[in-house]
Amino acid sequence: MDFIKKTGVILCGGKSRRMGIDKGSLIIKNKMFISYAIDAFERFEEIILATDRIERHDYLEIVSKEKERIKIIEDIYPEKGPISGIYTAMKSAKYDIVVIACDMPFISRNLTENIAGRLDECDEKYNVILFSDKRIQPLCSGYRKIYKDEINRCIMENKLSLVDFIKNNKYILFEETNKTYVKNINYPEEYRKLDGR
């Protein structure tokens, strides 16, 4: 298999306060959410699972044994939200990154690979930001490693909004009409409604 020279990043941080349990370990059709996320990066040369605290996620070590190219990293700045996971991943990544959240069980390989392709096609200063369901989707987008220091500065200044970071830097929009791909599951009632549980 020819691997895509991008780093797939799965954000596993957060306390899942609304769900009450770790969302990556939720199961649909006999498979954990985190496994769907890993499958979305099947052709990526490198996969990083970024978490706020490794010991919080019982499944991470088990899942990481599935593929030798998976790394598990702990946020450099805990309690700072997704922007911290992205910064930590950028510091560790070999390549520009495509980011998804662990609570998107309908994410597709086609989508992550298309985002990676757009990163290859556009100017190297531009992030590739997904636009779906009438808004930008910062947790399903492509980011350039050249912005690592800028993201670190945002964290140091406690400017933790990914949307603000995106709007203050160069980006192109990549539109996806199938909003199911980016549907994330936040609440127990949303999980109960899923088919195949």
Hey, is 168 helix, strand or coil? Answer: coil
Residues 6+ apart with CB under 8 A from 114: 174, 176
Query: Would you say 11 is a known binding-site residue?
Result: yes
Helices (H), 50-167: 60-64, 82-92, 109-121, 148-156, 162-167
Query: Would you say 102 is a known binding-site residue?
Result: no
Query: Would you say 130 is a known binding-site residue?
Result: no
Pairing of strands 135-143, 127-132: antiparallel
- Output phi, psi for 97, to 5 deg: -115, 150
User: Is residue 71 classed exposed, middle or buried when 0-12, 13-18 and 19+ CB atoms within 10 A define those classes?
Assistant: middle
Query: Would you say 81 is a known binding-site residue?
Result: no
Residues flagged as binding site for Mg(2+): 103
Residues flagged as binding site for GTP: 11-13, 23, 75, 103
Residues flagged as binding site: 11-13, 23, 75, 103
